[in-house]
């Protein structure tokens, strides 16, 4: 990891590919683009990954590759992060919020209550 980072910092390599584990704790100046080839599992993961492009007042671009099967979950994440317009601009369809039913007990008269779920 350290040898690869040194080569990246020196300009010997121009592209750095990292897993979530390898990327933890990286603080590399001048990152303009982050490409997610596998969408993060949650909002925090997305912000953590793409936030590497916008350090110290700079701007950057985050691109996430999404399969049709992932589109619903990723669109819900985009809505929660206020990125729905960007998502739609790329031709993606926003999915409605997912409702999950849960109950706190099995006693008679207990009604099921809808509960919101991340995705």
pTM summary value: 0.63
pLDDT of residue 45: 84
Number of domains in the chain: 1
Cα 58–Cα 60–Cα 63 angle in degrees, nearest 5 = 165
Share above pLDDT 70 across residues of the chain, in percent, rounded to a whole number: 77
Q: Is the pLDDT of residue 17 over 80?
A: yes
Average pLDDT in the chain = 77
pLDDT of residue 19: 79
Q: What is the mean pLDDT of residues 8-23?
A: 81
Q: What would the two tokens of residue 35 be?
A: 């490409």
Angle between helices 71-80 and 43-50 (to 10 degrees): 80
pLDDT of residue 43: 86
Instruction: Give the residue among 53, 58, 65 at the shortest CA–CA distance from 23.
Output: 53
Strands (E) across 30-98 are located at: 33-36, 61-64
CATH number at 26 reads 3.40.50.300
pLDDT (tens digit per residue) in 34-78: 888 888 888 888 888 887 777 777 788 888 888 888 888 888 888
Residue whose pair of structure tokens reads 């040898």 in the numeric block: 3
Contact indicator for 61, 53 with CB cutoff of 8 Å: yes
Give the structural domain span for 103.
2-116
Share above pLDDT 90 across residues of the chain, in percent, rounded to a whole number: 1
**Residue of 103 and 61 predicted with greater confidence:** 61
Backbone torsion region of residue 85, taken as left when φ is above 0, otherwise alpha when ψ lies between -120 and 50, otherwise beta: alpha
């Amino acid at each position: 990891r350290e040898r690869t980072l040194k080569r990246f910092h020196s300009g010997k390599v121009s592209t750095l590919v990292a897993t979530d584990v390898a990327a933890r704790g990286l603080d590399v100046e001048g990152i303009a683009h982050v490409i997610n080839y596998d969408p993060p599992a949650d909002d925090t993961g997305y912000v953590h990954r793409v936030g590497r492009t916008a350090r110290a007042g700079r701007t950057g671009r985050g691109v996430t590759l999404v399969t049709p099967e992932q589109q619903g979950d990723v669109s819900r994440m985009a809505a929660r992060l206020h990125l729905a317009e960007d998502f739609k601009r790329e031709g993606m369809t926003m999915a409605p919020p997912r409702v999950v039913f849960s109950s706190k007990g099995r006693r008679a008269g207990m009604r099921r209550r809808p509960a919101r779920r991340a995705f």
